[in-house]
A and B are shown apart, each in its own frame.
Chain A
């Protein structure tokens, strides 16, 4: 399985994302923001860091990068896409996910090992979890506050599209403790915390994050077997 990892100028977790993809048993394929081709990958990760044009709003200009055109088309066709942190912001600006990310309510950059509850486990990125399971992965952001209007929030809750929620503390003022959401179909997932930094016991607070990536590989295998 080939998983594209997009690098924008300012991306800084693209190597970690590629490492997580490899650890999960898939082949990472580097994609450049300026290319208008996805190189036939089976899934895409938009990694964390910063993106060109964050001066305006996080992800606002990056969403018009050439690579986003085939990405949006493919995502609408069902391609699994995971946006982490800045990648989440880019997906919201690209209207692949509802809502927006604003400056943390504390106005401080937050860096912490964050407890999360996984709530939606039928996306290609979360089948390896059990519903309600609590995990710890690193979180680091300055503009990680998830906001949307009440109607959108109610719709997300009703349709079970809140993928992960903050537990214990809300690090950035996200509405309804939302740490990650999916599109209606479930193939596009955005996460503010960083699972790619928690893929082993040596460099992170456990290996729970790896399961977002092994879920993808497992879901693909299952699909291949049933096809």
Chain B
């Protein structure tokens, strides 16, 4: 791996990095299908009012814990957090999507950075959650930057999926992404020091549960 953590961060967060996340919409496909997200304005509201709060209250604080464990090479803590994530992610498809992406990234990481700790983690938990693997990938990157990269992956993934699901142009999509990231940037540092807490989103849970049983679909999740 490059000795420059920032260059490694750019590589791991590049759209060409084969994580497989392009095949997932994380429940958004069903929300488009049922008419909840129909316009660019709906998409922006969805990202602002449903995705960002979940990132800030749960995902980013949880990522901060995992990042600390990765830096301490605390294998037991990472495995415990990985199992706990299953309990937080109620829809099977969201658990599975997270583990699919995580395992793909972990496999690649083992090729790119075959450190004993990372290889041992793959041995213990080859289908790790995306969040856990990202904390391993970016352990050398300062937490504030690593968390931004993790959050960016989530938002960019949904924005990319939206272009396949609805009538929205690239520029419009980038503008929405930009504004969403500005909102994220205002709050992410304070989220890093908060304990992880849940976020109520039965709509997205139902959408994901329904997507898993849909007769036709474009995305895996």
Genuine A/B complex: no
